[in-house]
Chains A and B, each alone.
Chain A
C-alpha cells in the first residue's frame, strides 16, 4: 500500500499531480524512468513516469492526464488514501551528459515527463532551450518549473491564447535555423503526432533526437511483449529497451495504431465507471 501525501489539480482538473510514499523506488529513481501502478484489486496495471522523486522523504511524484477509467479512478483518491501496488523504477534512465546545447520540446502532459530530463540536462551543464505547448492556455502545465530548468523557454498554444500562436514545431524550426549545428541533441516528448512532426523537423537539420514512447504495457519488465515498437529494422520492448528511443528510427504510425488496440473496451469501462459514480452521488 502506498499512501498519497499530496494532490494538486492542474490544467483545469484534466491533469493531476500526486506525491506518493514509495521509499524503495524513490531511493533509485532516475530521470526518464517510470513506475507501474495498480489502484485496487480489480485495477489495471498502468505505467506513469516519475515527474520527481525525493529519496529523503521516500516519495515519488506522478503527474497524469485523466483519459480513461484508471486515471479517473486514480483522480478519485484523496490525500491519505492509498494505491495498492506500485512497481519500479522501470525502464532505462535517460543518458544525461554535457553535450553543449540541447533543445527540450514538450507537448501536453508530455511536459511532466520532459521536466526531470530537462532539469538533468541543465544540471549537467548543458545550455538548454525549452519549448512547451498545449492546445490552449488553461491546459498548459509546469511553465514555472520548466522556466527554472532551462536557459530559454518558449511557450506555444494551438489557439494563440498564450505565447506563440501555433505548434511547438514552428518554434523548434526557428531555433534550429538560428542555432544551427550548435544544437547537439533534441528531446521531444508529447502526443505521438507531435513527436512524429518534431522528428521530421530535427531530421532535416540532422540533430539526433530522443523521444519517449507511451506504448501499452502490462508487466513493464520485458516478459510479455505488449509494448513492442518498431525502431528501424528492429522490434524493441518499450518498457526495458526504452521508453526512450532514437526518434528518427521510430515507426510512429505503427505505435499510434497499436495504441488503439483496446479503444472499444476502454470506452465501455469508462462508461460503466461514470454510470457507477453518477449512481453513487445520487444515492
Chain B
C-alpha cells in the first residue's frame, strides 16, 4: 500500500512568477485549493511511529491533522492543529520545514516529503475564511491577572493559552502594532500582515486585552505591573531586537542600515508605499545585504521589490552554510538576486556628503572548523575588491535589548544578555517567566511559540496551585 501512495508526486505550491513577483509586495506562494490539499494529504503514509512529529519543535500531531484533510474534514484538522500550535497560518508559511517536520518525513528518504507546511497553511487559511467556526471554549474566570510583555509569536501563544484557562490577560507591546517580528520583520510577500492581525483579533475575541505603545521598563516597570497594577504573573517575550553592526569603518554613512531598521521601515511603517505612507525607504541602485539568514533574504527581496536591479547577498562563508530557509534562497535566486559568497566587508566608502557610494570587500576561503563546527572563513591575502554600493543592509544577527533586564531587579541574564530561564520558562525572579528569542537568542517562530506554550502551562500551574 505504501508503494502505491508514493507514486503520487508531491503537489508543487502554485506561486507568482518570479519576473512578476520581484516587483510587487503580494504573497509569493498562492496556496492549495481544497481538492489539491486532499490529494497531497493522501500521500501521507500515516506512519505508526511518525518521524515527522519528532522533527517539529512542538510535536504537532502531523498524521492526525493530515488524515482529517484527506477525509475532507477541515474543521477537525484545524482543531487538531490548534492543540499543539497556536499559529498554524504563520508556521505553515515561515517554518524551515526542510530542517524540521518535512526533513524527517519518511517519504523524503526516497522521494519528496509530504508538503506538511503547505497543508498546515491550507488548513489555517481555510479556518480564517470560515466565519462560523465556533470559538474554542474558555474556562470559567479564575480571577488571576497575567501581563504578557511583547507581542511576538511566543507572547501571542501565552496569551491564547492562558485566556482559555480562565485567566485575565493583558498584552503590552512597545510598537504601535502587535505581532513582534511577524509585523516589523517578516515582509508582506512572505506573511501578509492581515494574517497576523487576524490572529491578534482572534485573541481579542477570546478576551485578551492588547495595549500598544507601552515600553515595559520605561512606561511601566515589571515590578510596577506586579506590585501596583495587581498582576499575579508576568511573561517576558521581548525578542532579540538589538541590531548588530560589523564594526568596520564607514558604518555610520547615510545608506548603511541595520536590517532591523530597513525592514521596520518597509514592513511596520509601510515605507514601500511612500508617499502614501509617510515613512521614507531608500531605493538603492546597487544594494548589498551582508549576511545569509532569513533576515538577509527578506532584506534582499525587499530591495528587489523596491525597484533595484543590482541586489547582492554578501556572505562570508560558503553557499552550503547559508542559514536561511531553503525556499527563501531558492525564491531569492529566481528573483534575480546575486550571491557573493565568501566575501566580507572591509570598509564602507562615502562621498563628500557622507552618502555611501561603494564598499570594499575581502575575499575569503574556508579554513579549519570553528566552535560552531563550520569551517572558519579566512581572508585570502591580497584579494580585495571595491564595488559600487549605495544601500548596504547589515543582517548579521541581533542581540538582547537591555531595556527590560536593566530595569528589572532580580532577573538574571547570561553573558550575552539573554534572560536565564529554566525548562519551564521560569526566570530567577518570582512570578516572572520568559521565553522566545530573549531567552534563546534569535531562533524561529515555532520555537518561540513552543516556549510560550511551555511557559503558559507552568504559569497556569503556579496560578492554580501556587507553584
Contact = CB atoms under 8 A, between A and B. Distances in A.
Interface of A: 24-25, 28, 38, 42-45, 69-70, 84-90, 218-219, 221-226, 228-230, 235, 240, 254, 257-258, 260-262, 265-266, 268-269, 272
8 contacts: A45-B176, A87-B214, A223-B264, A235-B251, A261-B254, A265-B274, A269-B275, A269-B278
B252 A89 contact: no
B213 A219 contact: no
A196 to B, nearest CB: 16
Contacts of A224: 243, 258, 260-261, 264
Contact of A221 (B215, B276, B282): B215
Nearest to B261: A224
Contacts of B215: 87-88, 90, 221
Nearest to B213: A87
Contacts of B401: 221-223
B385 to A, nearest CB: 26
A225 to B, nearest CB: 4
Given A87-B174, A88-B215, A224-B258, A24 B220 contact: yes
A219 B175 contact: yes
Interface of B: 174-176, 212-215, 218-220, 241-243, 245, 251-252, 254, 257-258, 260-261, 264-265, 269-270, 274-280, 282, 353-354, 401-403
Contact of B242 (A42, A222, A257): A222
Nearest to A68: B278
A228 B280 contact: no
Given A42-B277, A85-B213, A221 B264 contact: no
B99 to A, nearest CB: 27
Given A87-B176, A225-B258, A268 B275 contact: yes
Given A224-B264, A235-B251, A254 B354 contact: yes
Given A28-B218, A218-B269, 12 more contacts: A42-B270, A42-B276, A70-B278, A88-B219, A221-B401, A222-B242, A223-B243, A223-B401, A225-B260, A225-B261, A261-B282, A269-B278
B353 to A, nearest CB: 6
A221 B174 contact: yes
Contacts of A69: 278
- Chain B interface mostly: loop
Contacts of B403: 221-222, 240
Contacts of A88: 215, 218-219
Given A45-B269, A221-B403, A223-B243, A89 B280 contact: no
A70 B280 CA distance: 12
Minimum-distance CB pairs A-B, first 3: A265-B280, A224-B261, A223-B241
Nearest to A255: B252
Most chain A Cβ neighbours within 10 Å, of B213, B219, B264 = B213
A68 B132 CA distance: 47
| Best-surrounded residue of B215, B257, B264, B274 (most CB of chain A within 10 A) | B215
Contacts of A42: 270, 276-278
A113 to B, nearest CB: 19
A4 B269 CA distance: 24
Nearest to B274: A265
Given A218-B264, A223-B241, A260-B254, A24 B219 contact: yes
A257 B354 contact: yes
A31 to B, nearest CB: 15
